Structure 1
Amino acid sequence: MMLLNADFSQRAIISPDDYRWVPSPQPGVERVMLDRIGREQARATSLVRYAPASVFPEHSHPGGEEILVLSGTFTENGVDYPAGWYLRSPDGSSHQPSSRDGTTIFVKLRQMAADERQPVRINTKDDKNWHGQPQRKICPLFSDTRETAVLQKLAPGERIFCTPLAGGAELLLIEGELRAPEGRYEKGSWLRFPPGDMPALTASATGALFYLKTGHLSPATLTGESL
């Protein structure tokens, strides 16, 4: 059993300087483990990098899989998803992933509720999927009673959180930089905050684009923690 950032009552922060790329069982596919409970079949949050011409055998996903394509083009069952696509596949789904030219993706495994059934495919590069004001634009990705996942674009100086986090929050910085009392977080930083926390994070002079999931870390909604 591997336990990595497995105490969800504590902050967990990994910056690009902390990245440790390790091989997966499939040649050409490697990952940075962000949090993990389990061995190879684990409740896991990771960055995954496919070398050009990498192919992963077809496999199923108990507990579901959530993917955000960060760079390159991710191919699933012959369908191409360039950077910016969000893919959510429920419990029991299966696929054959690959990448002709290489890709890096953000992946969450075994973290969906058993009653979630609807696959999601969203192109976050399509302006029609965004709403809000210039200082804070939002691209909704998924929402139910347990969790909400969005992309947000913040204008310089805007603060992310203004109230305590009832169900915790998880953030992956895609573009820009964030400021905090303890320092700065650059592009690629992953931050996880427990319920009740209220981190003082603001967008720096370049603004910020980030993935944000909230609500999923409260004891009542946390899924897959015993896998």
Structure 2
Amino acid sequence: MKLNADFSERVVIRPEDYAWVDSPASGVQRMMLDRIGDEVARATTIVRFAPNSTFDPHTHGGGEEFLVLEGVFSDEHGDYPAGSYVRNPIGTSHRPHIGPEGCTILVKLHQFSDRDTEQKAIATHEEPFLPGSRPGLTVLPLHSHEAENVALVRWAPGTRFADHAHWGGEEIFVIEGTFQDEHGDYPAGTWIRSPHLSRHNPWSDEGCLIYVKTGHLLDMAA
């Protein structure tokens, strides 16, 4: 399967575009954002677990990164409530299980460098945000390796950012509020993938919280 596999193109998926499909695992549905491969794939996906569902034990052949959007994700290593950011590098394994409230995560698979071996879990609601590069922006760094950087960025209402280029590309997932730029408005639940050297001039009238990953698409550029 190839889905949004041309990384030279900008892609925007809003909540009204979601099309959930059943996973082979009972009680698990997926909204595929991009994908190269079948069940074993380089993939970015929103995964929705039904209450009390389980997932088979599995090894992360290409690494796993996820952000818990709703509910509590659990495995034999711990419980990860909404706002948790987890990285499981290549070769790690686990057996997920979900409690009675269900769970939704944003997950990225098979996108790790084999040199990126740091395993981590961050409870983002418990961590302090740092001043950003513009008034009205605060930032919680989550991960950095070589050209790749991952962070949560909070925009106060009315914050504007300068026009800039995305070296190595940029991915955004809007967690709260509405993110905006000259191309449109992006409510909570929107996923945006912008290619290497693309540009925009973003702002947020009402304020927002976004997950941002930059620098990781350079090798995918056409």
Secondary structure of the structure 2 residue equivalent to 1:125? helix
Using the aligned pairs only, state the percent identity: 45
CA contact (8 A) 1:161 1:198 kept: no
1:1-227 matches, within 5 Å, as 2-77=1-76, 79-100=78-99, 101-128=101-128, 130-132=129-131, 135-160=136-161, 162-205=163-206, 207-219=207-219, 222=220
**Closer, same or farther in 2 for the Cα pair 1:160/1:41, shift >3 Å?**
farther
1:183 deviates by: 2.6
CA contact (8 A) 1:176 1:204 kept: no
Please list the CA deviations of residues 57-112 of structure 1 after superposition, one character each: whole Å capped at 9, or x if unmatched: 11001110001000100002151110000000000110011111200000000000
Tell me, in whole angstroms, the C-alpha distance in 1 between the residues paired with 2:205 and 2:16: 19
TM-score normalised by the chain length of structure 1: 0.92
Matched length: 219
Secondary structure of the structure 1 residue equivalent to 2:147? coil
Show structure 1 runs of 5+ residues with no match.
none
Show structure 2 runs of 5+ residues with no match.
none
CA contact (8 A) 1:24 1:31 kept: yes
1:158 deviates by: 2.0
Tell me, in whole angstroms, the C-alpha distance in 1 between the residues paired with 2:186 and 2:173: 10
Q: Amino acid of the residue matched to residue 3 of structure 2?
A: L
Tell me, in whole angstroms, the C-alpha distance in 2 between the residues paired with 1:160 and 1:42: 35
**Closer, same or farther in 2 for the Cα pair 1:109/1:138, shift >3 Å?**
same
CA contact (8 A) 1:195 1:217 kept: yes
Q: Amino acid of the residue matched to residue 24 of structure 1?
A: S
1:45 deviates by: 0.1
